[in-house]
Amino acid sequence: MDLSALEGLERESVLQVLQRDKVLRSLEEERIRRMRSDLQEIRRKGAKSFARQYSERTCARCQRPLGRLWDSGATCRGCSHRICSKCRITSSAHGWECTVCHAYRDLKIKSGEWFLEERAKKFPGGLDRHDTTGEKILKSYQNFSHIAIVPPTPPPFATVPSFNRSGGLQTSKPFTKSMENLFVSLTSHIKKISKSHNDVTADPALLTADSCSVYRKERRSQSDTAINWPFEVCTVECRRPSLSELLRQDRAEEGAESSPAYTDDDTSPGAELPLDKRGSVGSISVGDLGLLDPNVCRTGEIELGLGYSLGTSRLEVSVRACRNLPFGDPKRKKCHPCVKLHLLPDGSKLKTAVKRNTTDPVFNETLEFSMERPLLAGRTLQASVWHSGTLKRRVFLGEALLPLDGWNFEENLTQSARWHQLCPRTKTADIAVEQQNRGLLVRVRFSSSSSSPRQERRPADRPGGGTVLGQLTIQVTGTRNMVENLTKSPGCVNVSVRGLLSLPGGPRQSQEALLQEQGSGSLWSGRLEFSAVPAPGLQGASLELSLWDPAPQGPRPRLLGTARLEEASSWQRVQQTPARGMTLACPSRPAKPEGNIVQTRVTDSRAAGVPQHA
């Protein structure tokens, strides 16, 4: 059907009606969704629970023990469970049903699902509730319409969760039982996961597989002092398979390609589980694992490729695909993912298209940030995955953070593509603050020979006669988030600071000093002096300060972190206040696990100079 035969005004009129219908349908959708979650609640409360030793002699709904002679229970026609007399609801037509079967029947009525099932008998095309003509017309005419009837909301897709449809149409067994079986099979997986927790946390190889993510987690752990080992927590969360993944595994194990895991096979996986197994996983409940809570379980991976095009001065990010995403709408088992890219802390945002109904979307989009290469230093690429729900509601699915400092950009985007684990949200603000907070506090003083009477004039070093030489004094007054967590006992501080001053066209000077703790906390002192620094060259200078843990047991010292000072304006201010000097915060860069100073020349635009009185 199309509206091409209609005149413009007629078409607008029809489209308006369809738009109204759409609003109505999304409201209905929402109502049904709520009813479903209510039903879920009832089912979860009772149900033959895997969390408990299940006995024939208890009511499957309220778990009350049943008597042998008196109140011995009876089998529900709907779910075939043994039900006590209190959990029955009598319906006039045919005896009674248990509370869950009754609620399910009620839902079928209220959601209009009975009609969809009936209709499917005549039109077995497997039509979704909202795969409607109106929807199609609206979509196809969005671009042509003169008036603004373009829907403000993403079109609501099929409400009917697949398990319901399949439960209703394709299987003979009642829905409730299949759900319970699903949960039982889930627990066996959960048990596997819980076992593997130790492996994951114990094996450092797994953690260091991706140095970037390690760095990120490290930062998290430093920022979050409330939790002792967020490192571990984070890792475990990332490793937790999503519900979809479990279902997929289930499916694969059962070898049933055609039928999803939650449609009934003749032998239910739950029935095969011995009782003691059920008992052994007793401490884990579904709620604990947050399977029903979209805010807890975040898993999945994203494949990203990063490249930098020097010709166009663009950072190119190839968003290739995601896999094993959690459902953005777990109740309806829906996921319409899209990826947002953000150059933290203040860069622009880019977004991919929304892929519909998939937890393994393939985007293959290349997004470009126009930014000079040096400005990328200190920034973090945040790739967040969102579910685009109805009524513009977006659900956060997970994110990957890639610090761009010292990133080795490759020419070929596709070659550089790598999978990154998606992690729960890190507050964007935290990152920015963290990044700014992490670093060294240094007092920089530059005393040129003209302003310092003690400084000797050395005419030999003044070719051309005009160059003023001076002494650059760097005093490390404190560290922020660099040393505290790495040196365990405060009494035995053994950290040295190494400074490398590079002047444009001039020789490099290297100085090293031992940091000494002053009092408690993060107050330190260490002094580096660079002499014979030509004043005009200072504005192009680059000072790299690195912190080292001499680590006597290791073959070579361990790099804890480096900080850089090389912004021209900072140097300018240093020169303007020769006597007092000024305190600067040098933002730090991540410590590389291999312990090498990275020699790439990067400028940090965010090195904020805070003039203070000495």
Partner 1 sequence: MASATDARYGQKESSDQNFDYMFKILIIGNSSVGKTSFLFRYADDSFTPAFVSTVGIDFKVKTIYRNDKRIKLQIWDTAGQERYRTITTAYYRGAMGFILMYDITNEESFNAVQDWSTQIKTYSWDNAQVLLVGNKCDMEDERVVAGERGRQLSEHLGFEYFEASAKDNINVKQTFERLVDIICEKMSESLDAADPAVTGAKQGPQLTEQPAAPHQDCAC
Q: Binding residues for partner 1, per CB under 8 A?
A: 1-3, 5-6, 10, 13-14, 16-17, 20-21, 23-24, 27-28, 31, 77-78, 80, 93-94, 105, 108-112, 114-115, 117-125, 127, 131-134, 168-174
Least Å from the CB of residue 120 to partner 1: 6
Query: What count of other Cβ atoms lies within 10 Å of the Cβ of residue 395?
Result: 20
Token duo for residue 581 = 């000097």
Least Å from the CB of residue 80 to partner 1: 8
Task: Give the residue from 24, 23, 3, 5 showing the smallest Cα distance to 14.
Answer: 3
Contact 490, 517 (CB under 8 A): yes
Query: What count of other Cβ atoms lies within 10 Å of the Cβ of residue 152?
Result: 10
Least Å from the CB of residue 142 to partner 1: 17
Run of H or E residues at 234: helix 230-239
d(Cα 611, Cα 614) in Å, to the nearest integer? 9
Nearer to partner 1, 111 or 449 (CB): 111
Nearer to partner 1, 108 or 527 (CB): 108
CA distances to 69, 83, 102, 305 from 72, in Å: 6, 9, 21, 64
Least Å from the CB of residue 152 to partner 1: 14
Hey, which bits of 11-107 come out as E strands?
74-75, 82-83, 88-90, 96-98
Nearer to partner 1, 128 or 232 (CB): 128
Helices 162-169, 175-202: crossing angle, 10 deg rounding:
140
Vertex 231, ends 230 and 233: CA angle to 5°? 60
Contact 399, 382 (CB under 8 A): yes
Least Å from the CB of residue 2 to partner 1: 8
Query: What count of other Cβ atoms lies within 10 Å of the Cβ of residue 85?
Result: 12
Nearer to partner 1, 105 or 248 (CB): 105
* Rg of the Cα atoms in the chain: 32
Least Å from the CB of residue 239 to partner 1: 39
Least Å from the CB of residue 162 to partner 1: 15
Nearer to partner 1, 14 or 292 (CB): 14
Nearer to partner 1, 80 or 366 (CB): 80
Nearer to partner 1, 33 or 379 (CB): 33
Query: What DSSP designation does 329 have?
Result: B
Task: Give the residue from 345, 362, 252 showing the smallest Cα distance to 301.
Answer: 362
Nearer to partner 1, 60 or 335 (CB): 60
Contact 399, 385 (CB under 8 A): yes
Least Å from the CB of residue 295 to partner 1: 25
Least Å from the CB of residue 24 to partner 1: 4
Run of H or E residues at 564: strand 558-565
Nearer to partner 1, 172 or 489 (CB): 172
Least Å from the CB of residue 105 to partner 1: 6
Task: Compute φ and ψ for 333, nearest 5 degrees.
Answer: 55, 50
Chain position carrying tokens 């049943």: 66
Amino acid identity of residue 12, one-letter, is: E
Nearer to partner 1, 10 or 203 (CB): 10
